[in-house]
Structure 1
Amino acid sequence: MSLRQIEPKQRGFLVVNSHPEGAAQTVHRMWDGIPARSGGRRPVALILGHSAGYGLATLLAGLRQHGIRGIGVAFEAADTGRRTATAGWYRTEATAQLAAAADHDIRFVNTDAFSADAKTEIADLLEQHYGQVDYLVYSLAAPRRTDPATGIVHHSVIKPLGAPYEAPALDFSGTDPQVSRARIAAGTEDEARATVAVMGGDDWHLWVRALAARQLLADGFTTVALTYVGSEVTAPVYRQGTIGAAKEHLEQTAHDLNSSTLLKEKDGRAFTVVAGAAVTQASSAIPSIALYTAFLRTVLGEAGFRTTTEQAIDLWDQLEGRTPLVLDEAGRIRLDGWELDDQVQDRVRRLWADPERGLEEARSGADWFMSQVQELYGWGVDGTVYGQPVETDVPWPRR
């Protein structure tokens, strides 16, 4: 037991502690926003990166609407007594409780999904409890990855390629959000390769191979990896930068998987899924993304800005054949049409052209963005009582 009173510790976008009840409340709110369905098949799913962002939304929508069975994998830190557990740890426990109450058969593993040991452990659990996998959802985001073959530790970077990047950014260091300037030196070829090694498709491919080697791919097996394209406004630091190189590699991996005997023998398919903008722990670390997202939210308003949950519902409906697949010319599933609508982007570009004045118009969007960052860690969540002792030493769900 570790009952103690905690306060948020924050520097800019960095929050170093989490509130367990607030983090749990965010999961309950997402769950309640997903219409429940009954009947139909209960596919087996393996969700890699289930504890945050689109991985969490895909897990919750899959459970609530399609009764998926299977395993969620994340890499989270427990309470140390000096620091709380990570928000993803608390979200996992809340998800487990909701799933158990609804009689869903789901297990959670806390491990480094990049490692060879993790692939063996998960395959063993699948064999023991579920059998062959219908869906593999790849939604991992991490700053580093150890190559299981060489032992080399690769570190990802957020840098442009070819030339330095300078653009407006959102600064929360003062009492009110302000516009600052982000300037980043161009990344090197080595940094680009390292970022591809972390965030590209190598590990996704290894997971499919590991499952296939254990005869754990079901007939009609489908695997998807989450990606992002975004606006031309953020392209220099995103799609044209080191991250973009990794995303291109991820997308090429989908083509490679589709042409491989691994999937052809199972009549399987692999897609990258282009999601829309969202406030996540990963996206908040990218310069200029915060300001862009604040402008986008201002343009679209609450009704037009689609949540990760809404997009996950859309994704499952497409994967399960309830609605047609929305594919682009590159064969990617698109969930981001609402963001890249021409009229929406025209209005965002107008704000971006004069960012200081744009921020005055988008003050509510900037405040919303910061509140969303805080909620990622369980702070500022409606319905949560703060300022009193809370249990921070929450156990990982039993499996």
Structure 2
Amino acid sequence: MSERVLTPRNRGFLFLDSHPAGCGQSVADMWQACPAPDPAGVPEGDEGPVALIVGSSAGYGLAATLAGLKRAGIRGVLVSFEKAPTARRTATAGWYRTAATAGLARGLGRDLVFLNGDAFSDAIKDQVADLVERRFGGRLDHLIYSVAAPRRTDPDTGTTYASVLKPIGRANRTKTLLFDDQGVPEVREVETGPAEGDDVEQTVAVMGGADWERWIDHLDGRGLLGDGFTTAALSYIGSPLTAAIYRQGTIGAAKAHLEATARTLNERLAKTVGGRAVTSVNGAAVTQSSTAIPGIALYTGLLRGVLGADTVPPVHQLAALWDQLTGAAPLALDEEGRVRLDRWELAEEVQTAVAERWAAATTDTIADLADLAWFRAEVQRLYGFSVPGVDYTAPVATDVPWPDDTH
């Protein structure tokens, strides 16, 4: 097993390697940060609800996995798409986080199976259905869908669609936050051209509700949806400050399609299994997906500057979602049938304060307006760096195996 001393090497917010020990410690830290339930409310061992989490290795999907373990005692199948270590590169961070999550689940006596593959493919859907049928009594209680991807191949047609991050109708100029190689911040204006041709349709095909509905079709076709089955797709609305590129842009069109799909699925599941389908609108967080969106890095740093420790981390939000899905807390929906876990972010006084800082943000003022140390550390922690308690001077084994227990 190869051992190396790993230091962060990055191009902007993208890091070339990931740190296995740091990724493992970040999973342990998220587990500790997740609020503990009433012990009497968590089923033991093989009595826990059977869950499928699609997109389980990063961001809100990882938070859903850990919160589901702690708050609901889930067992079941987790799907993600990660790259293995090679002679030149470490594995992706999600690979190491998955290994750590598997170790945590084993220690708890929870039966979780981790699949690595293309969640859009019917082959993975068949593999999941076989596992639910053979290993988990043929009944699925919950499905959480948390997929962010640049492209999707339609299994029926073989057509590959590509998503884009563009405004609709006209170009958008926005402030954005960058760091140079020495970590010096710069606030810069960038312009993103408008969607053209079939950009909107392509993005909706990737990030809308088509694949979520296909998962339900696949599982329902095999008779695997239990009575009272619930499913939630994770979504985001965000601030007016980022609306042109996000909620009113191509990705926003995909989110609107996701929410329309939830309404369709909700009517269907209510009739067939007495179930529910919802979208869960989560609050802002530093994720590998969000850092790619113009303006989001600046907005998130300013939001943290306003809220400080009152920022609600993903694992706390997903703990609240699991409580609602399992009936431990009432299902609280807005007028469009969405679970809203972002109210702390979109409170009027918070958005007013962030907007004032946004207007005042320049390269010269940004250090006083945003929590830059927190933001930079959060980005590094996505790849296992800057995690407290990890010795980054020590060699670490990078050839960590995928947890393979599909029998």
The answer to whether TM tops 0.5 is yes
> Are the aligned partners of 1:351 and 1:358 in contact in 2 as well (CA < 8 Å)?
no
Q: Does structure 1 residue 71 correspond to structure 2 residue 72? A: no
Q: Does structure 1 residue 193 correspond to structure 2 residue 201? A: yes
- Look up the equivalent residue of 2:401 and give its one-letter code: P
Q: Does structure 1 residue 28 correspond to structure 2 residue 28? A: yes
- Look up the equivalent residue of 1:152 and give its one-letter code: T
Residue aligned with 2:306, SS: helix
Q: Does structure 1 residue 273 correspond to structure 2 residue 273? A: no
- The 2-side partners of 1:182 and 1:368 are apart by 24
Which of 193, 207, 216 aligns to 1:208? It is 216
- The aligned counterpart of 1:290 is 297
Farther-moved stretch of structure 1 (5-14 vs 208-217):
5-14
- The 2-side partners of 1:216 and 1:171 are apart by 47
Q: Does structure 1 residue 234 correspond to structure 2 residue 235? A: no
Residue aligned with 1:142, SS: coil
Map Cα deviations across residues 88-123 of structure 1 (whole Å, 9 max, x no partner). Answer: 000001011111111111111111110011100110
Which of 134, 155, 162 aligns to 1:155? It is 162
Deviation at 1:323, TM superposition (A): 2.0
- The 2-side partners of 1:81 and 1:339 are apart by 43
Q: Does structure 1 residue 90 correspond to structure 2 residue 91? A: no
> Are the aligned partners of 2:69 and 2:75 in contact in 1 as well (CA < 8 Å)?
yes
Farther-moved stretch of structure 1 (320-329 vs 223-232):
320-329
- The 1-side partners of 2:189 and 2:250 are apart by 20
- The aligned counterpart of 1:379 is 385
Which of 306, 311, 319 aligns to 1:299? It is 306
- The 1-side partners of 2:380 and 2:120 are apart by 28
How do 1:49-128 residues align onto structure 2 when only pairs under 5 Å count?
A: 49-128=55-134
Q: Does structure 1 residue 223 correspond to structure 2 residue 231? A: yes
Which of 253, 258, 273 aligns to 2:261? It is 253
> Are the aligned partners of 1:61 and 1:309 in contact in 2 as well (CA < 8 Å)?
yes
Q: Does structure 1 residue 355 correspond to structure 2 residue 361? A: yes
Residue aligned with 1:92, SS: helix
Residues 263 and 124 (structure 1), Cα distance of their counterparts in 2 relative to 1, 3 Å cut: farther
Deviation at 1:37, TM superposition (A): 4.6
- The 1-side partners of 2:114 and 2:233 are apart by 19
Q: Does structure 1 residue 390 correspond to structure 2 residue 387? A: no
> Are the aligned partners of 2:361 and 2:369 in contact in 1 as well (CA < 8 Å)?
no
- The 2-side partners of 1:87 and 1:30 are apart by 15
Map Cα deviations across residues 345-399 of structure 1 (whole Å, 9 max, x no partner). Answer: 0000101112216513224x12211110110000111111112221000001121
- The 1-side partners of 2:224 and 2:285 are apart by 33
Map Cα deviations across residues 325-346 of structure 1 (whole Å, 9 max, x no partner). Answer: 2211111000001000000000
- The 1-side partners of 2:251 and 2:365 are apart by 27
Q: Does structure 1 residue 132 correspond to structure 2 residue 133? A: no
- Look up the equivalent residue of 1:38 and give its one-letter code: P
Residue aligned with 1:239, SS: coil
- The 2-side partners of 1:13 and 1:177 are apart by 12
Alignment gaps of 5+ in structure 2: none
Residues 398 and 37 (structure 1), Cα distance of their counterparts in 2 relative to 1, 3 Å cut: farther
Map Cα deviations across residues 217-268 of structure 1 (whole Å, 9 max, x no partner). Answer: 00000000000000100000000000000000000000111222x5521011
- Look up the equivalent residue of 2:366 and give its one-letter code: L
- The 1-side partners of 2:62 and 2:179 are apart by 27
- The 1-side partners of 2:219 and 2:115 are apart by 16
- The 1-side partners of 2:59 and 2:77 are apart by 17
Give the superposed CA RMSD. Answer: 1.2
Q: TM-score, normalised by structure 2?
A: 0.95
- The 1-side partners of 2:165 and 2:29 are apart by 32
Aligned pairs, number:
396
- The 1-side partners of 2:131 and 2:331 are apart by 31
Residue aligned with 2:177, SS: strand
Task: Calculate percent identity across the aligned residue pairs.
Answer: 53
Which of 172, 187, 191 aligns to 1:165? It is 172
Q: TM-score, normalised by structure 1?
A: 0.97
Map Cα deviations across residues 250-306 of structure 1 (whole Å, 9 max, x no partner). Answer: 00000111222x55210111000000000000001000000000010000012x100
- Look up the equivalent residue of 2:298 and give its one-letter code: L
- The aligned counterpart of 2:330 is 324
Deviation at 1:12, TM superposition (A): 1.2
- Look up the equivalent residue of 1:4 and give its one-letter code: R
Deviation at 1:39, TM superposition (A): 3.9
> Are the aligned partners of 1:352 and 1:358 in contact in 2 as well (CA < 8 Å)?
no
- Look up the equivalent residue of 2:139 and give its one-letter code: Q
> Are the aligned partners of 1:38 and 1:66 in contact in 2 as well (CA < 8 Å)?
no
- The 2-side partners of 1:145 and 1:45 are apart by 24
Which of 358, 369, 372 aligns to 1:366? It is 372
Alignment gaps of 5+ in structure 1: none
- The aligned counterpart of 2:7 is 7
